[in-house]
Amino acid sequence: MATMQMSVSPEDLSQLPRGNDRIPEPGIMVIFGASGDLTRRKLMPALFHLERAGLLPEKLAIVGVARRALGNKFAEDMRGGIIEYSGVEASDPCLANFVERIHYYQVNFDDPASYVGLKAELERISREKDIGGRRLFYLATSPEYFAGIIQNLGAQGMAQPEQGKAAVVIEKPFGHDLASARALNSQVNAVFNEEQVFRIDHYLGKETVQNILVFRFANGIFEPIWNRNYVDHVQITVAETLGVEGRGPFYEKAGALRDVVQNHVMELLTLVALEPPSSFEADSVRREKLKVWRAIPSIPILNVVRGQYGAGEVDGKPVVGYRDESRVSPESGIETYAAVKLEIENWRWAGVPFYLRAGKRMQKRATEISIQFKQPPLLIFDRLARHAACQVIKPNLLTIRIQPDEGIALRFGAKAPTTMEMDVCPVNMDFDYEEAFGKSSANGYERLLLDAMLGDQTLFSHRDGVETTWALYTPILEAWAAKTPEKFPNYAAGSWGPECADHLIASGGHAWRNDLGRKG
Ligand code: BG6
Pocket test for ligand 1, best of 202, 309, 367 (most atoms within 8 A of CB): 202
Pocket test for ligand 1, best of 208, 240, 252 (most atoms within 8 A of CB): 240
Active-site residue (options: 264, 462, 503, 510)? 264
Ligand 1: distance of its center to the CA of 260 in Å? 7
Integer angstrom CA distances of residue 271 from 36, 209, 358, 490: 31, 8, 17, 32
If you write DSSP's letter for every residue of 127-140 in order, what string do you get?
HHHT--S-EEEEE-
Ligand 1: distance of its center to the CA of 255 in Å? 12
Backbone φ and ψ for 373, nearest 5 degrees, come out as -90, 165
Over range 460-466, report the average pLDDT: 96
pLDDT score recorded for residue 385 = 53
pLDDT in tens, 184-229: 999 999 999 999 999 999 999 999 999 999 999 999 999 999 999 9
pLDDT score recorded for residue 377 = 80
Residue 16: is its pLDDT beyond 50? no
In 261-323, which residue ranges form alpha helices assigned H by DSSP?
266-273, 282-294
pLDDT score recorded for residue 442 = 81
pLDDT in tens, 465-476: 999 999 999 999
Taking the alpha carbons at both ends of the chain, their separation in whole angstroms is 12
Q: Grade residue 332 by pLDDT with cuts at 50, 70 and 90.
A: very high
Q: Which atom of ligand 1 is nearest to the CA of 203?
A: 14
Asked whether 92 and 30 are in contact (CB, 8 A), the reply is no
Residues facing residue 139 across a β-bridge: 32, 170
Q: Grade residue 424 by pLDDT with cuts at 50, 70 and 90.
A: confident
Integer angstrom CA distances of residue 465 from 257, 357, 487: 17, 20, 34
Ligand 1: distance of its center to the CA of 26 in Å? 31
Q: Is the CB of 240 under 6 A from ligand 1?
A: yes
Ligand 1: distance of its center to the CA of 338 in Å? 14
Residue 3: is its pLDDT beyond 50? no
Q: Grade residue 13 by pLDDT with cuts at 50, 70 and 90.
A: very low
pLDDT score recorded for residue 386 = 56
Ligand 1: distance of its center to the CA of 222 in Å? 30
pLDDT score recorded for residue 246 = 87
Smallest CA separation from ligand 1 atom 8, residue: 259
Q: Which atom of ligand 1 is nearest to the CA of 240?
A: 10
CA 372 to chain centre: 23
Integer angstrom CA distances of residue 466 from 132, 183, 290: 33, 12, 9
pLDDT score recorded for residue 432 = 94
Smallest CA separation from ligand 1 atom 6, residue: 259
Q: Which atom of ligand 1 is nearest to the CA of 403?
A: 16
Lowest-confidence segment of 129-133, 355-359, 366-370 by average pLDDT: 129-133
Helix (H) or strand (E) holding 414: strand 407-415
Q: Grade residue 143 by pLDDT with cuts at 50, 70 and 90.
A: very high
From CA 185, how far away is CA 190, in angstroms rounded? 8
Higher pLDDT, 331 or 419: 331
Asked whether 424 and 413 are in contact (CB, 8 A), the reply is yes
Pocket test for ligand 1, best of 171, 259, 261, 362 (most atoms within 8 A of CB): 259
Q: Grade residue 415 by pLDDT with cuts at 50, 70 and 90.
A: confident
Q: Which atom of ligand 1 is nearest to the CA of 444?
A: 14
Ligand 1: distance of its center to the CA of 38 in Å? 11
Residue 8: is its pLDDT beyond 60? no
Q: Which atom of ligand 1 is nearest to the CA of 264?
A: 3
Pocket test for ligand 1, best of 252, 253, 264 (most atoms within 8 A of CB): 264
pLDDT score recorded for residue 57 = 95
From CA 341, how far away is CA 511, in angstroms rounded? 12
From CA 269, how far away is CA 463, in angstroms rounded? 18
Q: Is the CB of 259 under 6 A from ligand 1?
A: yes
Lowest-confidence segment of 23-27, 145-149, 350-354, 384-388 by average pLDDT: 384-388
Average pLDDT of the chain?
92
Of the candidates 289, 294, 301, which has an alpha carbon nearest to the alpha carbon of residue 475? Answer: 301
Burial of residue 514, with CB atoms counted within 10 A of its CB: 0-12 exposed, 13-18 middle, 19 or more buried: middle
Percent of the chain with pLDDT over 70: 92
Ligand 1: distance of its center to the CA of 482 in Å? 26
Catalytic site residue 202? no
Over range 490-494, report the average pLDDT: 98
pLDDT score recorded for residue 267 = 97
Amino acid at 152: N
Over range 297-318, report the average pLDDT: 97
Residue 12: is its pLDDT beyond 70? no
pLDDT in tens, 35-54: 999 999 999 999 999 999 99
pLDDT score recorded for residue 35 = 95
pLDDT in tens, 62-91: 999 999 999 999 999 999 999 999 889 999
